[in-house]
Amino acid sequence: MGYQGSNRIAAESISGGDEAALPRAQHLVETDWLAAHLEAGDLPLRVVDMRGHVHTETSPEGVQTARYAGAEEEYAKEHIPGAIYLDWTRDIVDENNPVPAQVAPPEKMARVLGQAGIGDEHLVIAYDAHPAAQFATRLWWVLRYYGHENVRVLNGGWSKWLREGRPVTAETPHYPPAVFTPRIHPEWRATAGQVLEAMHQPETALIDARDEGQYTGRIRRGKRGGHIPGARHLPREAFFTEEGTFRSPEELAQVVAETGTQPESQVIAYCNGGVAATSVLFTLSMLGYPHLTNYDGSWNEWNQREELPIETGNA
């Protein structure tokens, strides 16, 4: 069966054939669905544990430092049976890029995923323990950028899986090597120059996924605080319930509508390192927004380049 055929069948399996539920099913899977298909072994699945951390410290003056970290020790202790671990700070980044956490080049992605046993034919299910699923959505975005559409995020992630008392293991799976073929889709990733060119265009909707303190400049991470001029504030946490699951489609649509972002907009999302921004892009994609781009360098790059303009305060 071809890749697109596998993708279609997987989506129909997740949605139960309900056309109205298909867009959500093309992005999310529920814990009961995953448990049933892991037991049945009837789909070419690869579950990926993307747990990780951003450790921050903020001084009384509002200067914040951040340290990016994986969670491989947590994975080694227990994880979803059959899950592979990928470190968001190491396995899917470009170590040679001076801007932290930039997406890995295609040859590295082909090597890392192929060695992990993730190939073109696999339905990838990503999960993490972040309250806004930002490491799982980061993998979703990386795979979409490289042309692999057959990827989903586990709704509620590791926390919901544990809360429901589902099986866990410390056993590390070993899959045979696979062939992952990167097919770059440049529209998914923007450079600082492209953002600068687009920021004053009426069809562009710049979205800042960081918290209010960083957006206004009250909290400064890097040389300068504030936001890209004209950016709308839409923190990633707005999409989630208190239990850490995505809100209903109607609620999500309302959250986005309150920012004035229209489905026909060319959306460019950013955060500090292009990771939290993927929660925004994932949600908009789930709502059917077709023109979505991640400014991968985000504030880590923008704040350091003094020739790039900034704003402070509320929009």
Catalytic residue list: 271
Number of neighbours of residue 165 by Cβ within 10 angstroms: 7
Q: How far apart are CA 158 and CA 9, in angstroms?
A: 25
Q: Which two tokens stand for residue 279?
A: 């929660």
Q: What's phi and psi for 116, nearest 5 deg? A: -80, -10
Cα-Cα-Cα-Cα dihedral of 303, 256, 163, 131, to 10°? 10
Q: How far apart are CA 33 and CA 50, in angstroms?
A: 19
Q: How far apart are CA 305 and CA 293, in angstroms?
A: 21
Per the DSSP assignment, residues forming a β-bridge with 1 are: none
- C-alpha pair distances (Å), 175 with each of 20, 94, 115, 125, 269: 35, 25, 8, 15, 35
Q: Which two tokens stand for residue 160?
A: 């919901």
- C-alpha pair distances (Å), 70 with each of 87, 108, 171: 5, 18, 19
